Amino acid sequence: MRHLGPIRILNLASGLAFSLTSAALSAPPQVECWRVNVTDRAGYNGIFADVRSVKYNASYVYVSCSSIPSYSIGPWPGNPGSPIDGGWTFRINRNPQPKTGTKTATGMGQIGVWMNGVCIYNASDARSYNNRNIWHQNAIVVEAPGFDSCGGHPAMVQYHNHQNASCMFTEELVSHSPIVGFGFDGFPVYGPYGFANTDGSGDIRRITSSYRLRNISTRTTLPNGTVLTTLNYGPPVSATYPLGYYIEDFEYVAGLGDLDTSNVRFCVTPEYPDGTWAYFVTHNSNGLPSYPYMIGPTYHGTLDTTNTGPTGGKVVPPAGVTTYNILDPDESGTTDFGDIALLLLSLGSYGPGDIDGSGIVDGGDIALLLLEF
């Protein structure tokens, strides 16, 4: 290992960082955003945490992960489940396209993945009133007592979130939110803050959902106006079944917020200067999760079904893929001054460059790179 004296480190900080002020981590967003574990961080029950590896080719990124984060999770009151290493490998399309015609509904189980490898679920808890498959329970309301402080819980053995993973990143109205995950249609999920205007101009502000609670006291019609038969009525709104208890308690109002029926908009972001369809984590003005929370209730793009369902998420990367090296963010082929310079530009930020998994790019990340010299 080569040793750098203090003067040389100072020159690195003042010289290279200055010369690279317009640079960014060079890998594409679908490759560089993941929290890859290079320090053998352990999570719940000593399980290998976050993302094991990221591999990619021109078409796809392959993310191998456990669905166990490195931050502390649990307990889950009333939930007998205990998370295990899921041994997942998900495939993310590098060239996602909007789906024409009828959008695909987000189903049960994993519908996307956070940048730390934890699975994203939709808003439903898979149960409906009287098992009629009409009034679907909202997990954010019904299962909330069993969530841990990070907003997650296990479905038997699979740890996941139906809403924002609150321990994963700090939400501050100071800059555009980072990419915090991807839907299985290949489009990114951002935190709650973005540019006021879709062309990337304007102040940073909270990006809002276009759904709202319906003004109803009885559950005799669906949000689309369908009048139900008595057999398919839901329970009247009450303290036991408050508004929001069911997914069908919400209605979409075009133009009410920034996002469409799938909770996306086409916009310029720091990672996509030419624009992308992007999901956003949605909160209300009080900072509470706002339906549909992240992705859904439909995918905007074409779903990659290799990731979903009981047998999904076990994709085998093909021959010839490249393994992304988080210790070589400029992809020069070796860990060098250019990599440290890129980290210096990212100091204090969250996301790419957080090599040690501390939640922020700091001196610890630079120290890890220095050990690789």
pLDDT-wise least confident of 13-17, 19-23, 317-321: 19-23
CA dihedral 60, 62, 68, 72 (to 10 degrees): -70
Do the Cβ atoms of 300 and 3 come closer than 8 Å? no
Mean pLDDT of the chain: 89
pLDDT per residue as tens digits for the range 38-71: 999 999 999 999 999 999 999 999 999 999 999 9
DSSP-assigned letter for residue 372: H
Cα distances from 334 to residues 28, 156, 324, 339, 372, in angstroms, run 18, 42, 12, 9, 9
Token output for 230: 């008595």
Q: With pLDDT > 90 as the criterion, what percentage of the chain qualifies?
A: 72
Which residues of 57-178 form beta strands (DSSP E)? 60-65, 88-93, 112-114, 119-120, 124-128, 136-138, 152-155, 158-161
Q: Which pLDDT score, from 0 to 100, does residue 26 have?
A: 57
Per-residue pLDDT at 15 exceeds 50: no
Token output for 115: 């940048």
Q: How confident is the model at residue 20 (pLDDT cuts 50, 70, 90)?
A: very low
**pTM: predicted TM-score of the whole model, two decimal places:** 0.88
Phi, psi of 266 (to 5 degrees): -90, 125
Q: How confident is the model at residue 351 (pLDDT cuts 50, 70, 90)?
A: low
Mean pLDDT, residues 145-161 = 95
Q: Which pLDDT score, from 0 to 100, does residue 67 have?
A: 96
pLDDT per residue as tens digits for the range 242-254: 999 999 999 999 9
Q: In angstroms, rounded to a whole number, what is the distance separating the alpha carbons of residues 361 and 358?
A: 8
Please indicate whether residue 129 or residue 6 has the higher confidence score (pLDDT). 129
Do the Cβ atoms of 198 and 266 come closer than 8 Å? yes
Mean pLDDT, residues 99-125 = 95
Mean pLDDT, residues 98-121 = 96
Do the Cβ atoms of 184 and 303 come closer than 8 Å? yes
Q: How confident is the model at residue 173 (pLDDT cuts 50, 70, 90)?
A: confident
Q: Which pLDDT score, from 0 to 100, does residue 347 have?
A: 81
Amino acid letter at 333? G
Bridge-based pairing of strands 112-114 and 88-93 is: unpaired
Per-residue pLDDT at 4 exceeds 60: no
